[in-house]
Amino acid sequence: MFVIIIVVAAPIAGMIYSALFAPGIDSMLIEEKQQKLIQIGQRMDESIDDETAAAIKKTVMTRSPSDIDSLQLQLHDRMLKLSYQYRGVDIGYSVPTIEQTFSLLPPRWPYDRKLENGIAEAINSKGPYSQYFMDHMGGLLLHVRPVVRQNDIIALAWAREMIPPQYAQSRNVRRTIFVITMLGLLGGIIGTIIIIRNMVNSANIIKNGLVGIQKDFTYRLPSVSGEMGEIAQAINSMAEALEEKAKLEEQLQRSERLAALGQLVAGIAHEMRNPMAIVKATVQLMQKQYKDSSEMQQYLDVIKEQVDRQDKIVKELLDFSRPSKSLWEDISLVELLKSVITFTRPYMDQYHIELSEKYQIDLPLIIADGERLKQVFVNIIINAVQSMPKGGQLMISVYSDEQNVYASFADTGSGIADEDIENIFNPFYTTKYSGTGLGLAISHNIIAMHGGTIAVTRSKDGGSIFTVSIPIRRDDDAASNIDNR
């Protein structure tokens, strides 16, 4: 065992040492080379005597080719002497004001862009600038030193040295070996920890999921891998069954409440209708009797207006409690909607509503009561227009799938609050100041009699989207129930 530990630990220790201490050694070598470039820059600065400085200033003033050639010969002699002492280092002078660079090497040397940036940094900082970087070609050490005479930068002396690619490759190999070795050692420990953690997490997910389902049947467990996933899938199936049962119970309770409410409403509406009819007949008689009195006619008009309003409410109550007998026939939902749009268009124009229509081609026919569906669509369109008192857009779309035909009404109005969406189809629930709260409740009942659904959602723009779905074939049981009412 001791031998195994030594055999395994020795190379690991060597790699750790290489990974930890080799970068320090590399940094020392780079620092040594950088100091050499700084020293070269100082010597290049010192080699610019008064005569050469004067030649540089003259060349800057004249910019003549002969002066540039003469300056190049003077600087070439100084660079040549230094190049013998520092082999492998590229040195040169740059005079930015005349855009001239003098070097022993030809143009387009690698990293010329780095040299240009270094010269710009030295000019901006008015002091020496050093840079070191690595890439796939190896790297570069650069030092730029301004040549200052009489507080003016007349030139810039620079020295640069390329770092061979083997240097970067060696460093990358060391790092790769270190990383692979450490990953190999830690892989087993990490793998074990992950397996245990996944098992614990899966158990916690199932436990929390059961608590969530206990509170809300619509909650579902997220997908879990392995055998735990099969358990989670079985629990989700159980939750779906419980959710369906809860929905059926809620629908049954709603139907019972609506039936009881319908009986109560019918009785109240009947008791209100007779006195209102007497009041209306009396008003009509008084209008004839006092037709010469304008003041009396004004009062009678007010009474008649309120009587008509109450009569309309009573009619809505009776429609809600005792829907009229339905007339079922084959209907094209597109043609029915176009007829509704025809007589609601003036109302939309009055509020400056921009209408868009989009109809699917070759829609199947539905078996429905056209007049009752018109009542639903008129109610939805009026609600949409009233939500856009300053104008807006209304998009009506009709499309289908294999089972249903859909009519969608999307407006750009003020939208419906989330808390109102849950109750908006309940009788007598309204967000309007003068509404009765029966329009959408009646619409909901009509669509339910057709075996369909009506739903409302908020659009991304903040408006409302009402979607009505009607089965392509009417449910026979629902039809018989309607005909018997």
* CATH ID of 241-320, from 1.10.287, 3.30.750, 1.10.20, 2.60.120: 1.10.287
Q: Which of 162, 157, 160 is nearest to 142 (CA)?
A: 160
Q: Start-end ranges of CATH 3.30.450.20 in the chain?
A: 18-163
Radius of gyration of the chain (CA): 45
Q: Cα–Cα distance between 354 and 345 in angstroms, integer?
A: 10
pLDDT value of residue 271: 61
**Can you spell out the DSSP letters for 127-185?**
S-EEEEEEETTEEEEEEEEEEEETTEEEEEEEEEEEEPHHHHHHHHHHHHHHHHHHHHH
pLDDT-derived band at 185 (thresholds 50, 70, 90) equals low
pLDDT at 242 over 60: yes
pLDDT value of residue 396: 94
Tens digits of residue pLDDT in 209-240: 788 777 776 777 777 777 777 787 888 888 78
Strand arrangement of the beta sheet that strand 152-163 belongs to:
100-103, 90-95, 152-163, 138-149, 129-135
pLDDT-derived band at 398 (thresholds 50, 70, 90) equals very high
Q: Cα–Cα distance between 339 and 351 in angstroms, integer?
A: 20
Q: What's the whole-number mean pLDDT along residues 358-375?
A: 88
pLDDT at 318 over 90: no
Strand arrangement of the beta sheet that strand 404-411 belongs to:
353-359, 392-400, 404-411, 464-471, 453-458
Q: Start-end ranges of CATH 3.30.565.10 in the chain?
A: 328-483
Q: Cα–Cα distance between 109 and 50 in angstroms, integer?
A: 30
> Residue 397 forms beta bridges with which residues?
358, 408
Backbone angles phi, psi at 269, to 5 degrees: -60, -40
CA distances from 370 to 175, 212, 339, 376, 477 (A): 78, 45, 11, 10, 19
Q: Cα–Cα distance between 252 and 249 in angstroms, integer?
A: 5
Q: Across all residues in the chain, what is the average pLDDT?
A: 78
Identity at 416, one-letter amino acid code: I
pLDDT at 102 over 90: no
pLDDT at 86 over 80: yes
* CATH ID of 328-483, from 3.10.20.30, 3.40.640.10, 3.30.565.10, 3.40.50.300: 3.30.565.10
pLDDT value of residue 7: 44
Q: Which range is least confidently modeled, 2-6, 49-53, 363-367?
A: 2-6
Q: Cα–Cα distance between 364 and 463 in angstroms, integer?
A: 29
pLDDT value of residue 484: 43
Of residues 214 and 360, the one with the higher pLDDT is 360
pLDDT value of residue 56: 87
Strands 392-400 and 353-359: parallel
Q: Cα–Cα distance between 375 and 382 in angstroms, integer?
A: 11
Q: What's the whole-number mean pLDDT along residues 355-364?
A: 91
pLDDT at 84 over 50: yes
Q: What's the whole-number mean pLDDT along residues 197-203?
A: 80
CA distances from 479 to 258, 325, 327, 368, 430 (A): 19, 11, 10, 9, 30
Q: What's the whole-number mean pLDDT along residues 182-186?
A: 71
pLDDT at 137 over 90: no
pLDDT value of residue 475: 46
Q: Are residues 290 and 296 in contact, defined by beta-carbon separation less than 8 angstroms?
A: yes
Largest CA distance in the chain: 131
pLDDT-derived band at 474 (thresholds 50, 70, 90) equals very low
CA dihedral for 21, 27, 31, 37, sign (positive or negative):
positive
Domain 18-163 is of which CATH architecture?
A: 2-Layer Sandwich (3.30)
Instruction: Give the count of alpha carbons within 13 A of 87, CB side only.
Output: 1
pLDDT value of residue 211: 81
pLDDT value of residue 288: 80
Buried b / exposed e along 201-210 (16+ C-beta atoms within 10 A): ebeebbeebe
- Using CA atoms in the order 105, 111, 116, 122, what is the torsion angle rounded to 10 degrees? -100
Of residues 267 and 103, the one with the higher pLDDT is 103
Q: What is the CA angle 248-249-254, rounded to 5? A: 95
pLDDT value of residue 377: 92
Q: What's the whole-number mean pLDDT along residues 186-211?
A: 78
Q: What's the whole-number mean pLDDT along residues 41-58?
A: 88
Q: Cα–Cα distance between 472 and 452 in angstroms, integer?
A: 10
